[in-house]
Structure formats: structure tokens, C-alpha cells
Amino acid sequence: MDFSFIDKIFEPFWQKCVDRWVLELPGAGCEWFKKTGGCTMCGFNQATYKYTFGGKLYPHFVFMAIFYLAYLMIIRKAKPEILVIYNGGSFLNDKEIPAKTQLAILNFVRRHKTIEKIMVESRAEYVNEIKLRQYKEALGEKKLEIAIGLESADDKVRNECLKKGMSKATFEKAVKLCKIFDIQTFAYVFLKPFCLTEREAIEDAIKSIKYCFKVGIDEVSLSCAFVQEGTLLHKLYQRGEFQPPTLWSIIEVIQRTAHLGPVRIGSFDDDPPPIAKPHNCGECDFGVLVAIEDYNLYLDTMFFDGRTCDCKK
């Protein structure tokens, strides 16, 4: 089942590799996209709309049927320690995932014998005291991590180029609230907005990661630009005006920030499938991609040591 699977991931707070249950739920779609057209680099709404007949919100029982089907068919015999839910938007937004569904899933995690933590995604504006109090009560002693897309610490890059529609004040308020409730925070930082050169994009990502840890984020994921059809990046790519970042750029960002805290590298695959991904010259790509996979399993930059190629210049 493509929407539900087990993989391995390094959990930096436990300092070990763990089994993770990844579940993709067909939420009603990102409300920010519905209101504004969404972020310029994002094509996830196409997948969301495909499975929800144009962004309709399924009733609670449909979500739970999907959830338990995924669990009974694949996960029941496994022993995952983390559950990660992706819904192509904000899990905390009741217009995208029913509030009843949110709490039912959290209650399931509280009762599960091996799952110790759940991670969900949300825009910062949906992180509020009422919601966090409900979540903590539903989860009991189990851990919660909320992932928020910052993308860039630069206001112009984030809101004028990427059309994120979020202030740093809103982001910092969400992080502060999570700290009060002992909830872990996870931030996405975007590498290579179309408005920046490769070198500018590297420096912007590094500054943004530094900012995340400074304001209290626990973990960062470097989201590396890839091209999905139907996005602005797709139009620019077709005109020869945009290329995803090189793998060397990704490695440089990691090598210059990994000492600050846990920084993982996001996947280059998603739905709809990218038509262009981060790459090098073609000769060295395979070895570098293997090193990136190894890095993500241990969050150790030693896997990048000694790697070079003529294209690195």
C-alpha cells in the first residue's frame, strides 16, 4: 500500500535508528492553496485533489476506515516506534482533517504498545493553546512533534518569492507554544527558491537553519527543490530558467549546519512524481545519493568525507 508503509529513520533524540510508520491521509487539501493559489514550489495539491474529488472533506468514519485498513493490512505485525502522518496540508486544521479524527488517531497512539511518538504537519497559524492542550490530553505520556514549513528566514524570499504567507512572529509564536507544552518542533527549510542563484540559495538555507535552532526548533529538514508539473517551477524549468540544486550544494549546506543540531535531508520523490530532481553531472550521482541515504540513517557527515568529482567545481 503506497499510502502506508514502514521505513527506518534515525531518531536524534533517542540516538538510534527506529522503524517509522508513514501514513498519507487524503485530507481536504491545503486551505492556504484554496485561498491564494498556494506556495510557488508546491504541487502537492494535485495529489490531494485527485484523491478527494477536488478537495472535499471526508467524514470522520472514512478517515478512520482508511486508518485502520492501513494498520490491519500492513502495520499490525510490525513494531513501529514513530507514526508520521502526511495529509498534504495542515493536520491541525479542522477544515482539512476533522477534529474528531485528529483526537481519535492520537488516542490510538496513546494505547499502542510500541508507538512512542507521532509527528504531524501544520502551518504555524493553526498551532494554538486550545489545540495543543487537547493533543497533550489525548496522547498522555506519548510524544508529539509538529512540523512547520518555514522555508526561509528571509521575509522577501519566504513571502514574495515562495508565497508562503507567514510572518516570523507567527512562526516563533508557534514554536514558543510548543515549548510550553513540551512538544517537539520540526522545521522545513527550502533549498533553492527560483529567485536565488545557486550560491545565494546555499547561503539562504544556512542562515535559515541557524535561525531555526536559534528560536528553539528541535530538528530541521532540508527540503531540496524538485520540479512537479503544474507549478511555477515547472514553467520556469521548461523555459530553461530554473534547475534544481546540485547534490554538492545540498552537502555543503549540511556540512556547514549539522553541528548546530539535527538536520536531515528531505526526500526527492513525492506525488505527483517530480520531472526534475537535484542532481550532479551524472557520473558521480549514484555514489553521492548513497552517501545522502547513509547520512540520513545516522545524521553523520562522515559519509560525505572525501567525495569529489570534476563537476564539484
Query: What pLDDT score was predicted for residue 49?
Result: 60
Q: Would you say residue 285 lies in a domain?
A: no
Q: Is 253 left (phi over 0), alpha (psi -120 to 50) or beta?
A: alpha
* Per-residue CA distances from 25 to 37, 77, 87, 135, 240 (Å): 21, 21, 5, 18, 35
Helix extents (H) in 27-118: 31-36, 44-51, 60-70, 99-111
Tell me, yes or no, whether 313 lies in a domain: no
Residue 272 is predicted with a pLDDT of 75
Whole-number pLDDT of residue 1: 57
Provide the residue-wise pLDDT of the chain in tens; the chain has 313 residues. Answer: 588 999 999 999 999 999 999 999 999 889 998 899 889 888 766 666 666 666 789 999 999 999 999 999 888 889 999 999 999 899 999 999 999 999 999 999 999 999 999 999 999 999 999 999 999 999 999 999 999 999 999 999 999 999 999 999 999 999 999 999 999 999 999 999 999 999 999 999 999 999 999 999 999 999 999 998 888 999 999 999 999 999 999 999 999 999 999 999 999 987 778 999 999 999 999 999 999 999 999 999 999 999 999 999 8
Q: Could you tell me if 255 and 214 are in contact, meaning their C-beta atoms sit under 8 angstroms apart?
A: no
Residue 94: give its domain's CATH number.
3.20.20.70
- 151 part of a folded domain: yes
By residue count, the chain amounts to: 313
CB under 8 Å to 173, separation ≥6 — which residues?
124, 127
Q: How many domains does the chain have?
A: 1
Q: What is the pLDDT of residue 146?
A: 98
Decide if 295 is inside a domain: no
Q: What is the pLDDT of residue 282?
A: 94
pLDDT of residue 313: 80
Q: How far apart are CA 85 and CA 105, in angstroms?
A: 10
Residue 275 in domain: no
> Sign of the CA dihedral 229, 288, 145, 194?
negative
Q: How far is it, in rounded angstroms, from Cα 5 to Cα 16?
A: 20
* Nearest CA-CA partner of 67 in 109, 19, 95, 116: 109
Domain that residue 75 falls in: 4-226+249-270
